[in-house]
Amino acid sequence: MKLYFLRHATASDVAPSDAERELTREGREEARIAGVALAKLGAKPNQVLTSPLVRARQTAELAAVELKFSDEVAVFDELRNGRSTAVLLRALKQFEGARELLLVGHMPSLADHVADLIGAANPAGLALGKGSLACIELVELRSAKGELRWFLRQKQLRLLV
């Protein structure tokens, strides 16, 4: 199974609450670029899962459009910041038959998940910038069993598209 980790794109700093922060114009463009890049890389996620926070949902929806993903983007509470990789993996068991999943969330949890899945001791070098992507391939949904296939920052994604 391939897991694509996408950090939400750039969001406004002005909102009634952190959870309600919407993407800026730049953020909407970053999300579209991430979706186009995923399509060019041959990604065909069986499911798109997103944190419930507005900026992550908007990022997921815009990327899904560019991927021509026809199902509904699903809100997945386990993609909120602070959730452990163990909790995320338990929740992902329901998708074990899927070939590919797109997971949209936040830092620092995304770096923690990537590090844990590939068995890296320190997530510091795996920080995803806004609108950046990482792809991990797993034979089984377990920590330290994945291989990092690629890690692309927004600047690299722009060059790709």
What residues contact residue 16 under an 8 Å CB cut-off, 6+ apart? Answer: none
Domain CATH for 125: 3.40.50.1240
Structural domain range at position 39: 2-160
Run of H or E including 74: strand 74-75
What's the domain count of the chain?
1
Rounded CA Rg of the chain = 14
Distance, CA of 3 to CA of 43 (rounded, Å)? 10
Specify the pTM. Answer: 0.97
Phi-psi bin for 34: left (phi > 0), alpha (psi -120 to 50), beta? alpha
What residues contact residue 38 under an 8 Å CB cut-off, 6+ apart? Answer: 4, 45, 63, 66, 67, 102, 133
Q: How confident is the prediction along the chain (161 residues), in pLDDT tens digits per residue?
A: 999 999 999 999 999 999 999 999 999 999 999 999 999 999 999 999 999 999 999 999 999 999 999 999 999 999 999 999 999 999 999 999 999 999 999 999 999 999 999 999 999 999 999 999 999 999 999 999 999 999 999 999 999 99
- For position 73, what pLDDT does the model report? 98
